[in-house]
Amino acid sequence: MKKIQMVDLKGQYETIKDQIATSFDEVLSNTAFVNGPEVHAFQKELEEYLGVKHVIPCGNGTDALQIAMMGLGLQPGDEVITVDFTFAATVEVIALLQLTPVLIDVEPDTFNIDIEALKKAITPKTKAIVPVHLFGQVANMEAVMEIAKAHNLYVIEDNAQAIGANYTWTDGTKQKAGTIGHVGATSFFPSKNLGCYGDGGAIFTNDDDLAYTIRGVVNHGMYERYHHDVVGVNSRLDALQAAVLRAKLPLLDTYNNRRKESAAKYTAALNGEESIVTPVQTGEADSHVYHQYTLRITNGKRDGLVKYLNENGIPCGVYYPIPLHNQKAYTDERYNEADFVVTNQLCKEVIALPMHTELEDDQIEFITTKIKEFVNV
């Protein structure tokens, strides 16, 4: 059996090595290192793949979220609702822009935004909602969009973990995750489902005016060379990263299918085990792209299991160990523990297993056998 990796970037690289080398050579010989034709071509190809009018590449996923909020013109004091159970970047940019983060609980099965909690959290100051498609599963966007419409709120999708996932509306129409709200943000961090070999990110929107505004924001607030109309940032995707992303984008569906196959094998092996809750998929088969495969260990043995797996050469992760409302940077007297029952519990129960495009059957077999060995005794 090959050594088990949490994310096998090297194994995947080996399969596309020649193409990457050719693309890198091209970029190096034409020396358009930033915002050149390579970046533009990637932008067009991603727009086509996602079925979205505008993709604006930028430096990373955190910038993408921040720039989306700047583009919408959110102002200090505006309340922005997001989930307590996510990577800190989501709430970080809200706080950085001096907006008021309003953290709410998630659903225990999907780990995504709790619609009842969302309804309760809306005040006259609420301006935007940031659903996070956590671990690769699209949030309940139909409900989120309905609430946003009723209250005249913006929806900013944090799609860092679910690129390529589809959302199916009640009427059967499908839309790609990240293209449903007013604006979407994604990350091309190497371990993400569409990862480059450094940092990268992008913003998506179907709104022409917003796209225009955002293209200026990413470039120092410039709409005409050396005319700075708004306070912007400097956030760019470089051409070498775009070359990697161009090589990988045509493989994204295959990559996501590989993840789904591995997820199904994990679930088949672990389903029905007492004290183990396997990931619940609520939508259609294409609504979850398994950025992470996350179990809940309900008998209090999660931390012991992490240790046991590590001792057996099996890497694993706890995403996330501390609810955001309890993080020093984001704690606030507005918050009440009784409003975070699910997140508080998930932080004690979740464990993410190795998940990537190169997982092999004997590895899955070994991992699931070790898990059962430990959890059942």
Q: How many CB atoms lie within 10 A of CB 116?
A: 11
Using the minimum distance from each CB to ligand PLP, give the nearer residue, 131 or 232: 131
Is 349 near ligand PLP (CB under 6 A)? no
Is 110 near ligand PLP (CB under 6 A)? no
d(CA 281, CA 193): 18
Q: How many CB atoms lie within 10 A of CB 228?
A: 13
Which 58-87 positions form the footprint of ligand PLP (CB under 6 A)?
60-62, 86-87
Q: Record the tokens describing residue 288, joined without a space.
A: 């979850």
Q: Which of 58, 99, 132, 214 binds ligand PLP (CB under 6 A)?
A: 132
Q: Record the tokens describing residue 4, joined without a space.
A: 């088990």
Q: Which of 131, 201, 232, 323 binds ligand PLP (CB under 6 A)?
A: 201
Q: Which of 78, 158, 238, 286 binds ligand PLP (CB under 6 A)?
A: 158
Is 160 near ligand PLP (CB under 6 A)? yes
Q: How far is the CB of 186 from ligand PLP (least distance, A)?
A: 8
Q: Which of 52, 70, 72, 89 binds ligand PLP (CB under 6 A)?
A: 89
Using the minimum distance from each CB to ligand PLP, give the nearer residue, 58 or 153: 58
Q: What is the dihedral of CA 290, 295, 296, 298, to 10 degrees?
A: 160
Is 189 near ligand PLP (CB under 6 A)? yes
Using the minimum distance from each CB to ligand PLP, give the nearer residue, 79 or 158: 158
Q: Record the tokens describing residue 308, joined without a space.
A: 């046991």
Q: How far is the CB of 369 from ligand PLP (least distance, A)?
A: 30
Catalytic annotation present for 192: yes
For tokens 């699209």, what's the residue? 138
d(CA 113, CA 319): 16
Pairing of strands 174-176, 276-277: unpaired
Which segment (55-63, 108-116, 163-171, 346-354) binds ligand PLP by CB under 6 A? 55-63
Task: Write down the catalytic residue from 127, 192, 265, 301.
Answer: 192
DSSP 263: H
Q: How far is the CB of 273 from ligand PLP (least distance, A)?
A: 28
- Decide if 144 contacts 155 (C-beta within 8 A): yes
- Decide if 105 contacts 339 (C-beta within 8 A): yes
d(CA 98, CA 251): 39
Q: How many CB atoms lie within 10 A of CB 249?
A: 18
Using the minimum distance from each CB to ligand PLP, give the nearer residue, 134 or 364: 134
Residue numbers at the binding site for ligand PLP (CB under 6 A): 60-62, 86-87, 89-90, 132, 158, 160-161, 187, 189, 199, 201
Catalytic residue set: 192
